[in-house]
Amino acid sequence: MSNFSDEELLDALGIGQETAKTNKHSPRTERIIAGFEEVQRFVERYGRAPRHGEDRDVFERMYAMRLDCLRNKEECRLLLAALDYQGLLSDAEIAPVASMESMDDEALLAELGGEGESSPFSITKLRYVRPQVEVKVAEEIAKREKCEDFDLFRPLFEQVEHELKSGKRQARPFGRDARINTGNFFILSGQFVYVVEKGDEFRVTNGHPDARLRVIYSNGTESNILLRSLQRALYKDDTGRRLTEPDHGPLFSATWDEDDTGSGTIYVLRSQSNHPFIAEHRELIHKIGVTGGKVETRIANATHDATYLLADVEVIASYKLAGINRTKLEGIFHRIFAAAQIDLTIHDRFGHLVRPKEWFLVPLHVIDEAVRRIRDGSIINVAYDPKKASFVGLNQ
């Protein structure tokens, strides 16, 4: 052992000697490279180059514009040639960018992923972050846009505000429970935040899970923000809060007669099935059922039960029952939403065709309204209109 030099000993152990690397890139060059790496990560994730179009995600449109800028500027093509393992700079015809010639360097750099040296999100402030950073700077704060279907969510925000004031919901500091799932409510920067949709999870380079969310804000805007970006925003906001699920108390009766049916629970489930129709309308398709036992026990075998579409399910809402016939109550729900029941046929695990029942194309806030109307008796005066996704008076 003593005959080995330090270098030979390290080689024998398989430990290479690392020489200190200095960053020779200027801040401007770093921003160009970082902007290109964001486009590359998009291609890795979706298997194609970003495209233009009003029907595209705001980030995809931004990346498409950025790629056009890179392709049109010879300086950028030369700089990035060695990094272009996907052929992005030469695989497609260079797209014309009308405003390219009128852009100065700072304006161009803004399109490439930076906003000048003074920007709080300047790449120079991230020089110690790994090049393949899992949370992209441009996605830290997703651009908010007008929510075109906000009328569907307005009653839900009004209801949540009422439940918070009445004590049915509690606002708790974010952090004790950092989970974010579809149907969750938060308070961020003084606004209610509703998570409408959660995309498929993926793993970032440090192994942590992430997902794209569709988030609606109570001011009528929405954004497609990353789950971890929303978590960070809630952590940083001293007033950031999670709203607990509403405690509706016993339904119909809190006292018991000798002939009363035992207590139970109304549960609302959302399927995690990959069936194309379910995946497309996931945030609107719900299963409504009633059980006398624990909901968790009822759904424990969901992946092997055609009733649950042979997939995992998520409990979106539940309501306690007391002194009510569960079977009759379940029938009332199914009759109310009969017009919205989905007609879906799947193969069970034995290959037999089955048609699951109790799945309805109904927004969650409408189900909650149905519970309240059954409770106060006003359900007899209304009917559910699938086209309007709301209850209408029987005289309308």
Which of the four pLDDT bands, split at 50, 70 and 90, describes residue 7? low
Beta bridge partners of 172: 242
Instruction: Report the share of the chain in percent with pLDDT over 70.
Output: 72
Least confident of 18-27, 91-100, 146-155, 265-274: 91-100
Which of the four pLDDT bands, split at 50, 70 and 90, describes residue 183? confident
- Residue 122 has a pLDDT of 36
- Radius of gyration from C-alpha coordinates of the chain: 27
Q: Render pLDDT for 208-225 as a digit per residue (tens, 0 to 9).
A: 788 899 999 999 999 998
- Residue 15 has a pLDDT of 44
Least confident of 220-224, 257-261, 323-327, 366-370: 257-261
Q: Render pLDDT for 281-308 as a digit per residue (tens, 0 to 9).
A: 888 899 988 888 888 888 888 888 878 8
Q: Give 86's contacts (C-beta < 8 A, 6+ positions apart).
A: 40, 43
* 114-120: average pLDDT: 40
Is the pLDDT score of 123 beyond 70? no
* 89-110: average pLDDT: 48
Mean pLDDT of the chain: 75
- Residue 214 has a pLDDT of 92
- 203: buried, middle or exposed (CB in 10 Å: 19+, 13-18, 0-12)? exposed
Angle, vertex CA 227, rays to CA 225 and CA 229, nearest 5: 70
Please say whether the beta carbons of 310 and 303 come within 8 A.
yes
- Residue 377 has a pLDDT of 74
Is the pLDDT score of 247 beyond 70? no
Which of the four pLDDT bands, split at 50, 70 and 90, describes residue 127? very low
Distance spanning both ends of the chain, measured CA to CA: 94
Least confident of 42-46, 241-245, 260-264: 260-264
Strands 285-291 and 264-271: antiparallel
- Residue 257 has a pLDDT of 47
Which of the four pLDDT bands, split at 50, 70 and 90, describes residue 187? very high
Beta bridge partners of 265: 291, 320
State if pTM tops 0.75.
no
